[in-house]
Structure 1
Amino acid sequence: MVEYTMIEREAGALQQPVPLEQIEAMCQRAFGKGRALLSVKELGGGGHNNTYRVQLADMEPVILRVSPERGPRLAHYEVDLMRNEQYAQPFLAPIAPLLPKTLMIDFTHQLLGRDYIFQTFMPGELWSDIENELAMEEDLDLYRQMGEIARLIHDVEGETFGQPARGHTFDSWSAQVFHTLEHTIKDIEAARLDASDMRALLTLARDHQYLLDEVRRPHLLHGDLWTFNLLVRRGGEKQPPTISAVLDSDRCWWGDPLADWTMFLLRIKGTESLDPKVVAGTRAFWQTYSDQGVEPSDSSSQFRLHVYYGMSFGAARLELHRRPDHDRVRQTYLRLQEILEFLHTII
C-alpha cells in the first residue's frame, strides 16, 4: 500500500492534484517497472507547480514537480515555465552545486496532460520557514550569501533579451520591457481588472525609451531568487548557516539585473517590513552584490528600477487576484500610483 499525502485545495485552484495511479505510471517510465513506489508526499510553499517528495524502493528520495495545465488562467509569463527552466540550466553553471540535478523530464503529455520532471532531493530547510528562528547575524550571513549567488547569476551574459525557449527574443531592452508591459495589461484586462495605471506606466516607458536602452547587454536573471526558494543548512555551534540549494529556476530570463524579481523584493521588504532582521538583511545583500554596497541612486537607474517595480506589481496583481486576495490586489493600485508619481518627479 503506497502512502500518499496530498494538500487539499479548492476545485478551481491552479495547482490540481495528480492521481496516485498517474504518479505510479510516471515513476515507472522514469525508473523502470521493477521499482516499487513506497510513498508520495506533496510539499507546500510553491504557488505554481505541484511538488512531491517520492520514495521508491532501494533509492534515495527524489522530487517530482508537475506543471499546471495550459489554459487561460495562466498569465503570459507563466506558460511553459518548466521548459524554460531546462533551457536555462546550462547558463546557471556558476551555481551548479546548488541546483537539483535533473533525473528525467517528460514533455510528451502521454501519461498526463502536463509537463513533469524528476529531480534529485536537496537536503536543507527552506530559509523562509526558519527565518524567525535565526539570530540576527545568522540571517545577515544568509542575505550576504544570497547577494553573492545573485551576482554569480547576473554576471552571465547572453546574446538576446527575453526568453528564447519561449520564442520571446528582442534585440533591445526597451522592446522587452514594452512586450512585458503590453502582455501584462492584456492579462489584467482579461481578468476583468482595471489596467489604466499599467497603461500610464507603459506610456512613460515609451516616452523615455532611451533610458531603458542604456542597458545594452543582456544578463541572466533568476526570476524567483528569494528566501522561499533557498534551502539552508544550519551550522554547528558558532558556525553560520549556509545556503545549500537554489530551487525553482523556471522563471529565468535575459535582461537588466535590476529588473530581477529579487530587486523588487529587496525594495518591498527593505521599506515595508516590520522585522528589523529583514530590513537589515536587505542592506547586507547589497554589501556582497555590488561594489558600491548599495542600490544605485542615479536618476537613470532609479527610473528603470521604478519601471521594473511597476512591472512586478502588475504581475503580482494577477497572482493575488487568482488566489484570491482582494485586499492585496487593491494595494497594487496604491503602489502603482506611488510609482507613477515618483517617475514624474525624476523625468
Structure 2
Amino acid sequence: MDFQPIERPSEAFQQSVTAEQVVAMTRRAFGTHVQVRAAVELGNGTYNNTYSVDLTDVNTGEDPHESPGEPSGANPRRDRSVILRVAPEPARQSRTDHAFLRNEVASIPHLAPIAALMPRLLATDFSQQVVGRDYVFQSLLHGVPAPEGLAAYPRASWAAFYRNLGAITRVVHDVRGERFGPVSGPAFDTWSEAVAAHLDDLAADLDDLGLDATDVRRLAQVAVAHRTVLDRIREPRLLHGDLWTVNVMLTPGAPEPTVCGVFDCHRCSWGDPEADWSILLAGRRPGTERDAFWEAYGPLTNADEARLRRLIYRASHLAAARLERHRLGNHVGVAESYDEMRELLALLPG
C-alpha cells in the first residue's frame, strides 16, 4: 500500500490517521475482499482529514457494492477510487464545529435539488470503534478544483463561473425548513435565538483558547437588542455555509468555467439566506466579475433592516474567522480581527 499522509506538527489541529487505520476503515465499509492500493491525503481542507483512496475489489461473487445491473462475478477484479473523510477527534472539536461530519450527513436529503453535483455517500461510521473518530466514504468527484481551474481561463470569462455559483446558491436557498439552526440541531423556534446561541458558543470557544471574546459578547448583546429585526425572518431556508470557490469543481475543458461538483457541506444550517457565506463573499468586490452572481441569484433588498441584519451576519462571520485563523496559526489575522470587529460594532446601533 502506498500511503502518503501530510506531515504536521503534533500541536496542529488536523492529525492524520495511520495506514493501518485506513485499511481497517476500508474493510469495515466495503468488506475484507477489498484491497487498498494507495491512500493520498489531500491538503485543500482545514477541518476533516481527506484522502483519495485507490481500491481493488476482488469479487467473491456477492459484492454488495457492484454497480446496479452488473452481473454478479462478471468483473472478478475492479479498480476504483473513493474519497475518505475523517473528522477530528471529539476532544479537538469546539462548540461551533461539533460533529460537523454528522451534520453533513443529515443535510444530504435536503440538498437533493443539487444531488447531481454532489458526491454520493458510500459508507458512514459514527461508532468511533475503529479510529475513535467519525468518518465517511464518498464517491470521487471528477473535475478540476475551482481555484486551479479558474486560473486557466481569461479573467473576462470568470463572470460565467460566478453566475453559475449564484444559480446554485439560489437553488439551495429555495429549500424550506421548519426550525432554525444547524441541520442536525440544536433547533430554535426563532432566528434571533439561533443567531444569539451561535455567538454565545463562539465566545465560549474563544475563551477556551485564551482569546479575548469581549467584542463577540457585545455583538451577541446587539443581536438580542435587535431580535425584532432578526425575527422578521420567519421561514428557515437551507444555507450551505461554505459554498464558494474552494468547495466546487469545474468541468475540464469547458469553453467557459462551469461548476460540475459541490462538496464539503458540513456547515449546512437553516436560517436567513442573506447570512450564508456565499452571500457575504459575492458582495465583497462590487464592480468585478463577482457581480454576475446577482444576475442568477437575484438582488438583495436594500431596506434599513436588511442592511442591519447583514452587518450582524458580517460580524458573526468575522468572529468565526478569528477561531479559524487561530486554528491555522495565523496570529496576525487573529490580531487584525479585533480591529475589524471594532469597526463593524461602531456601525451597529446600540
TM-score in terms of structure 2 length? 0.91
AA aligned to 2:26 is: C
User: CA offsets, 1:225-277, max 9 Å, x none?
Assistant: 010000011335xx223111101111100000011111222344x16xxxxxx
Which one of the candidate residues 308, 322, 340 is aligned to 2:313? 308
Q: Does 1:169 align with 2:187?
A: yes
What pairs up with 1:262-341 in 2 under 5 angstroms? 262-268=278-284, 270=285, 280-290=288-298, 292=299, 295-341=300-346
In structure 1, what residue type is equivalent to 2:100? L
The aligned residue for residue 243 of structure 1 is 259
Q: Is the 8 A contact 1:160 1:218 kept in 2?
A: yes
What number of residue pairs does the alignment pair up? 329
Q: Unpaired runs of 5+ in structure 1?
A: 272-278
Kept in 2, the 8 Å contact 1:154–1:220? The answer is yes
- Residue of structure 2 equivalent to 1:76: 95
Could you list the per-position Cα deviations for residues 297-317 of structure 1 after superposition, in whole angstroms to 9, with x for gaps in the alignment?
221111000101111111110
Is residue 42 of structure 1 aligned with residue 58 of structure 2?
no
Q: Deviations over 1:198-247 (max 9, x none)?
A: 122122211111110110000000011010000011335xx223111101
SS at match of 1:339: helix
| Superposed counterparts of 1:1-347, under 5 Å | 2-57=1-56, 58-71=78-91, 73-165=92-184, 167-236=185-254, 239-268=255-284, 270=285, 280-290=288-298, 292=299, 295-344=300-349
Task: Map Cα deviations across residues 35-89 of structure 1 (whole Å, 9 max, x no partner).
Answer: 2211111111100011111111113210000000011x42212111111111110
Residue identity matched to 2:247: N
Indicate if the aligned counterparts of 2:101 and 2:134 stay in contact, CA closer than 8 A: yes
Which moves more between the two structures, 146-155 or 50-59?
50-59
Matches of 2:148 and 2:347, distance apart in 1: 34
Shift of 1:164: 4.5
TM-score, normalization by structure 1: 0.91
Task: After TM superposition, give the deviation of residue 6 of structure 1 in Å.
Answer: 1.4
2-structure distance, mates of 1:193, 1:170: 28
2 CA distance for matches of 1:69 and 1:85?
A: 17
Report the structure, 1 or 2, having the larger helix content: 1
Unaligned runs of 5+ in 2: 57-77
Closer, same or farther: CA 153–298 of 1 in aligned 2, 3 Å:
same
Distance (Å, rounded) in 1 between the aligned partners of 2:260 and 2:274: 25
Percent identity among equivalent residues?
40
Q: Partners of 2:110 and 2:222 in 1: how far apart? A: 33
Structure 1: 4+ residue segments shifted above 3 A: none
